Each structure stands twice: as structure tokens, then as C-alpha cells.
Amino acid sequence: MSKTAYVFPGQGAQFSGMGAELYANSALAKEMFEQSNDILGFRITDIMFKGSDEELRQTKVTQPAIFIHSVVLAATLGESFKPDLVAGHSLGEFSALVASKAIDFESGLRLVAERALAMQMACDLQPGTMAAILGLDDAKVEEVCKQIEGVVVAANYNCPGQLVISGAVESINLACEQMKAAGAKRALVLQVGGAFHSPLMEAARTRLQSAIEATTFHEPLCPIIQNVDAKAHLAINEIKSNLIQQLTAPVRWTQSVRTMWEHGAHQFVEVGPGKVLQGLVKKIVPEAEVLSA
């Protein structure tokens, strides 16, 4: 029997107006949005519903906004939310953990807010950037990264032929030239605040580790496929350990989707703003059925 995987998007999925319809049409959603404002100490809903793209890109806003939208949407599905597996892309892993009851909503939001601030702190300490490499085999991208001096690593395995690298600015620029020389269709430096999912996030990882260790976790409703190893996890100690490693380790999304497919998940439901993950899933497993929650 075919299984259903619920997948949760990461940073970059935000848009002005996100969640406004949910707020207007669901008492539960309205309650959770207002609870979010109280927890964060500012009205994030005002920025989500009516803010400019620039306001939504603020570090303290972007990650909590996407997390809140995703988790509230999952909650409003009620009895119809019956995941066989869950997974999230980077930030989305926190949404997946809350939706699957591994952590409660308030704890999840506090962790995400802390994660955003920790990442900003790490960016200020050690500036870095990321670049999208298109049309090159994963193994070739990894090989080129190893040949470059300084910090440059594979950071996001998004889908075949689309891998994001992360590291020091000079090393990334040099890597982009080498990737093109190796046959990449494009090597595009991204407009991001830092070198996410690279060793340059070590300060953020250390700071977030304390917050994760202080948070109460429960066994999730179903296995969660985690970014760090693209394997299914139910054990609390494994989930926490992988979550701590996540900021300095690559997002193995291609591998995660294949793991879910191998576990029998032929339907993928994206829960949150946008449709980025649906597009990636179809590129990884063309036979998969993809839909929005």
C-alpha cells in the first residue's frame, strides 16, 4: 500500500501575504498565530500578511515566519494529517518535528527564533556565501570543492543537477570558475547572508546545541527522515544529535526523497508556503505524486 510523506519547506519559500487566509478562516490558526506573536514579542503576523519582501527577508522574521505558516497549516489539517513519514528541508526539519509531535509548538518556535539569531551571529563572525551549481554531477561538484583552498563544501543536495555549495567568499568565487570549467551549465552566487550548512556555522551550531539540549523531545508520530544522514529516525537521542549537527552539515534532500520513496512513500504533500519542494521531488522521483496541503 502506498504511503504518504509530508514535507516542509525551508528558507526562501516566504512571500508577502503568507498565512493571511488561514488566519481569516480558521479559529485554530488565528489562535496559533496570536500565540506566535506573544512568544516572539513582536507582531510577526503583520509582516507575514502585509510586509514587504525586504521586511520578510530579515533574519529574525524569515525563519519563524515559514515555520509558523507550515506548522499552523499542518495543525488545521486535523484528522486528515496522517503522515507515514515526515521530512523538512533545512529549517523545514523543525516544522516536521513539531507537526509530528516530537516537540511542542512553543518549544519549536523558540528553537527556530534562536536558530535564526545564532545563524546571524555566525555570519557576522565569519562572512561567507553560497552558490548554486547547475548541470553538474554531485560527485564532480564534491571533487572540485576538495581542490579549492579555504572553506568550500557541498551544502544542499536539492535534486540531481542542482547542488548548492557554501563557504568563504573568495573560495566560493574560485569554485564557481572551476565548476564552469568542469562543465557546469551555471554557477551562480546566491544573495544569502552567510555560508549556511558549512563549517563556518560552527558558532551557530554551538549556540543552538544548548537550546536543543534544553528542549523536551518526544518520539514522533512517524519516522522523520533527517537532513544530516537522509535516514529514518524515531529515537529521541538520534533526532536531537542530528538536529545539532544540521547547521554545519549538508542538507541531503535528494537522498532524503529517495529514502522516502524506498520506504514506500509515493505521495508527497508539501506543507507550508510555496511549491519549491514539489518541484524538487518530481526531479528526484518523476513517478511521485506531489500536492499542496
100 a catalytic residue = no
Rounded-to-integer distance, Cα 44 and Cα 65, Å? 7
Strands 224-225 and 3-8 turn out to be unpaired
90 a catalytic residue = yes
Half-sphere exposure of 87 (CA within 13 A, CB side): 31
If we measure between CA atoms, which residue out of 192, 30, 47 comes closest to residue 120?
192
Q: Which of 90, 107, 166, 198 is catalytic?
A: 90
Q: Are 270 and 293 in contact (CB under 8 A)?
A: yes
Q: What angle do CA 159, 277, 255 make, to 5 degrees?
A: 40
Q: Which of 69, 89, 197, 233 is catalytic?
A: 197
Rounded-to-integer distance, Cα 127 and Cα 167, Å? 9
- Please list the residues that pair with 102 across neighbouring strands: none
What is the residue whose three cell numbers read 567568499?
A: 169
Rounded-to-integer distance, Cα 74 and Cα 80, Å? 9
What is the residue whose three cell numbers read 518520539?
A: 219
Strand (E) or helix (H) holding 127: none
CA torsion through residues 7, 12, 13, 17, sign: positive
Q: Are 86 and 15 in contact (CB under 8 A)?
A: no
Cite the DSSP H helix spans in the chain.
Answer: 20-25, 27-40, 44-50, 53-56, 59-76, 92-99, 105-125, 138-147, 169-181, 202-213, 236-245, 253-262, 276-284
**Residues belonging to the active site:** 90, 197
